[in-house]
Amino acid sequence: MLPISPRAWLLLTAVAGTLASTVACAARVSARSDAGASKSLDDSKRTVLITGANRGIGLELARQYHAAGWKVIGTAREPDAAKDLKSVGEDVLVPALDVTDPESVRALSKWLEQRPIDLLVNNAGVGDGGESSLAKIDAQKLAHVMQVNAIGPMLVTQALLPNLRAGKGRVIVSITSVLGSIEGDTDDGYYGYRESKAALNMFMRSLAAELRPEKFVCVPIHPGWVKTDMGGPNAQLTPEQSVAGIRKVIAGLKAGDSGKFWSYDGSNLSW
Ligand SMILES: NC(=O)c1ccc[n+]([C@@H]2O[C@H](COP(=O)([O-])OP(=O)(O)OC[C@H]3O[C@@H](n4cnc5c(N)ncnc54)[C@H](OP(=O)(O)O)[C@@H]3O)[C@@H](O)[C@H]2O)c1
């Protein structure tokens, strides 16, 4: 037996008690940090990149995702003029992007560096003035519509794929239109716009197939007829209503939903 005085014994047990409570406390702190770490995987901590986010549906997407706690990167052709987008929140990042310009797409990719992106929304788009007869088709205007609505989303997705692979969400959405449905109502012209959205839909379907092994979900979503500069004042939906629906569709997407044609109201549309 160790020769130890009662006073030294008391001191030793006190030190042992303090040590034990310090260890217990450290364990509690560690449990709290673990809880914090798992919280960082929440939807509210994810990053969305939205193209054409300075007005219309893109701006409302930025507003709603930001309000839900997401990190928002909203692109604009002219970031200095994107006042409404910047007013969404001081932490909203507004890089420049013209989807028709490969150099601009490359610059965005370089600016992003390795930043992970969980959700890409290819939203930027243009109408074609509604050309209703073959005689009115103008080659230059048609090429521009195809460039913005169909080729642009391909270039942006291609450039941002490393960032999307680094993210945890692995969702790619393109805002398309029911006017691109070949089986749908095709009675009223809009040649260029319809062609561009049909091409975009085909891209999303091919993309879904290519990226399925990597567990990506890739979908085109029709936003409804929306009161924006493009949709006009007589449209059926406000941007708030359309985007609430789009977000609900995105939040509910599962692996088997990839490569389907979605409407903002949660229904599937025919190709
Ligand atoms: N509104 C509807 O009823 C409706 C229906 C079906 C589908 N959609 C689709 O929904 C999407 C958004 O439409 P919206 O109604 O919000 O239209 P919008 O109000 O006219 O906004 C279009 C957005 O696209 C951007 N954009 C145009 N050309 C671009 C380019 N070359 N590079 C980058 N950005 C470009 C615009 O930027 P600038 O401000 O710089 O021009 C703007 O931010 C489009 O894809 C559209 O086809 C809309």
* DSSP per-residue letters across 96-114: B--TT-HHHHHHHHHHHTT
Cβ(168)–Cβ(118) below 8 Å: yes
Which residue, judged by its Cα, is nearest atom 46 of ligand 1? 125
Distance in Å from the first CA to the final CA of the chain: 87
Ligand 1 neighbours by CB, cut-off 6 Å: 51-52, 54-58, 77, 97-100, 123-126, 148, 175, 177, 223, 225-226, 228-231, 235
Minimal CA–CA distance to 64: which of 252, 239, 225? 239
Residue 65 among the catalytic residues: no
Q: Which residues pair with 157 in a beta bridge?
A: none
Residue-wise DSSP of 46-92: -EEEESS-SSHHHHHHHHHHHHTT-EEEE-BSSGGG-HHHHTT-TT-
> What is the pLDDT tens value at each position of the chain, 271 positions in all?
333 443 443 333 333 333 333 333 333 222 222 222 333 335 558 999 999 999 999 999 999 999 999 999 999 999 999 999 999 999 999 999 999 999 999 999 999 999 999 999 999 999 988 788 899 999 999 999 999 999 999 999 999 999 999 999 999 999 999 999 999 877 778 999 999 999 999 999 999 999 999 999 999 999 999 999 999 999 999 999 999 999 999 999 999 999 999 999 999 999 9
Atom of ligand 1 nearest to the CA of 58: 16
Q: What does pTM read for this prediction?
A: 0.86
Place of tokens 């969702």: 171
Q: Which atom of ligand 1 is nearest to the CA of 99?
A: 32
Give the H or E element holding residue 204: helix 191-211
Q: Whose CA is nearest to atom 17 of ligand 1?
A: 230
